[in-house]
Amino acid sequence: MPVNPADAPVMGALYGTDAMRAAMGEHAFLQRMLDVEAALARAQARLGIIPEGAAAAITAAADADRLDKPALAAATRNTGYPVVGLVRQLSAIAGPEAGRWTHWGATTQDIMDSAVVLQMRDGLDLIEADLARCIAGLARMAQAHRGTVMAGRTHLQHALPVTFGYKVAVWLSPLIAMGERFCQLRPRALRVQFGGAAGTLASLGGQGEAVQAELAAELGLAVPDIPWHVARDGIAEAVAALGILCGALSKIATDVILLMQTEVAEVAEPHVDGRGGSSTMPQKRNPISCEYIIAQSRGVHALVPQVMAAMAQDGERGTGPWQAEPLAVGQAFLLAHGALVQAITLAEGLVVDAARMRRNLESTGGLILAEAVMMGLAPALGRGEAHHVVHHACDVALAEGIPLAEALLRDAGVAAKLDRAAIERMTDPTGYLGAAEAFVDRVLERVG
């Protein structure tokens, strides 16, 4: 029975995705270790180290469905690693002649680390494909609402007018950067691991580097400058990048949750009958996607320090830190992908209420344009005096429940400088958007 809800048959519907479970799960890990063993045999056969027939037999035998899982579990429990039992079974399936050439010159960690790298490559493929989909959805939304005026909020209070397209572009920009980061980290994270017992490939004599290069070519991985048994920066960088991605997604989810509040109601998650409902309150439409973006992101953020701590390896083979990685890497990929897929729901289906945005913007009677009025009065009154006058007018407007323009016109100094039409122009939110729309355009230019 799974202990982690993300791996359970029922709760797993809420956490992660089936595609990532398939890529990062144990069956995939076993298959990827067999893939590495088979690739090693083929590489060594090309170099004349082992017979070609042996390599062919080992490759044909490298099928995780043919493994005796209970026997492998027993061997793993006994040795502390799955590779010894796996190689024993692979050798038996390949036959006595071919079997004696399996795992030639390799060490346990070579096979396990290279297998994890292959899994990470599959995981990154899934992440990058869905990230592109999320970016495309948000780009369409930013373009559609480039000029949809709404209240910008700081400290959860009305601050200045912005556009909803600007807000979406703020969400979008870090995700575009994430696509660049994932592309940049691949050469550093997706490297073959092949170093032998202590990283020197001594067991292969003068052919160690050639075997390493051939193995990398077989697996489609980069060749590192040195075996990285105890230099875990590639794996750590990949998981840290997932943490940054989840931070960016959490920002989106947090904003949407706040905008979905009944009293605000400017956006809503796409509604499907029964989604986000309550067992007792029929009216409820809860921000379910947002909640699971945040929950899964926090799970990833809790795993990042675990992988970072695993970088403190001792000597030429770690005693404990390395074994902590399997508890974190797969789950980080799984939860990050789950958060990303939930974010696609928002990117492609968020319901935007532009009319409600306008009503909320106007609900303070022009107070959100206080800075605009202050800057408009500053040339005539000086900035300090203009700030004092507008601040007093805001106090009057709040105390008496009147529009800011009305409060300003009560001030003789203001009335002497500006007529009602000028004040109303200053308190028009569409006239005080600054470079908001230009910033949207700049972000959209980065979308490929």
Structure tokens at 417: 């400088």
Are 321 and 276 contained in the same domain?
A: yes
pLDDT at 274: 60
The domain that contains 279 carries what CATH number?
A: 1.20.200.10
Is the pLDDT at 216 greater than 70? The verdict is yes
**In the chain, how long is the greatest CA-to-CA distance?**
103
Does 317 qualify as catalytic in the annotation? yes
- Please indicate, yes or no, if residue 448 is contained in any of the structural domains: no
* Residues of the domain holding 392: 366-426
Amino acid of residue 128: E
In a domain, 12, yes or no: yes
**Phi, psi values for residue 99, rounded to 5°:** -60, -30
305 with 418, same domain: the answer is no
Last residue of a domain, one of 358, 388, 410: 358
Strands of 255-385 (E only): list them.
Answer: 267-268, 351-352
Looking at the structure, tell me whether residues 297 and 422 fall in a common domain.
no
CA distance 344 to 133: 7
Domain boundary pick from 304, 333, 358: 358
CA pair distance 323, 417, nearest whole angstrom: 74
Token pair 């991605």 in the structure block, residue: 245
In the chain, the amino acid numbered 3 is V
In a domain, 438, yes or no: no
CATH number at residue 408: 1.10.40.30
447 found inside a domain: no
Choose the catalytic residue: 317, 356, 410, 425: 317
Total domains in the fold of the chain: 2
Q: Are 239 and 303 in contact (CB under 8 A)?
A: yes
Q: Identify the bridge partners of residue 222 per DSSP, sorted by sequence position.
A: 191
Structural domain includes residue 331: yes
Residues 381 and 233 in one domain: no
Matching residue, tokens 């469905």: 65
84 and 175 together in one domain: yes
Looking at the structure, tell me whether residues 130 and 87 fall in a common domain: yes
352-403: per-residue pLDDT in tens? Answer: 999 999 999 999 888 888 888 888 888 878 889 888 888 998 899 899 999 8
Is 249 part of a structural domain of the chain?
Answer: yes
Among 113, 181, 146, CA closest to 352: 146
- Residue 35 has phi, psi (to 5 degrees) of -60, -40
Would you state the structure tokens that stand for residue 192, as one six-digit string?
A: 């073959």
Check if 279 is active-site.
Answer: no
Inside any domain, residue 121:
yes
Residue 130 located in a structural domain? yes
Q: Are residues 54 and 180 in the same domain?
A: yes
Q: Are residues 398 and 273 in the same domain?
A: no
pLDDT at 284: 56
Judged against a pLDDT cut of 70, whether residue 282 lies above it is answered with no
Of 203, 275, 278, 442, catalytic:
278
CA proximity to 318, closest of 326, 309, 310: 310
pTM for the predicted model, two decimal places: 0.94
Binning pLDDT at 50, 70 and 90, where does residue 232 land?
Answer: very high
Could you tell me which residues are beta bridge partners of residue 351? 268
- Count, residues in the chain: 448
Judgement on whether residues 153 and 284 belong to the same structural domain of the protein? yes
Per-residue pLDDT reduced to its tens digit, 399-425? 999 988 888 888 887 877 778 888 888
Is residue 335 domain-shared with residue 415, that is, in the same domain?
Answer: no
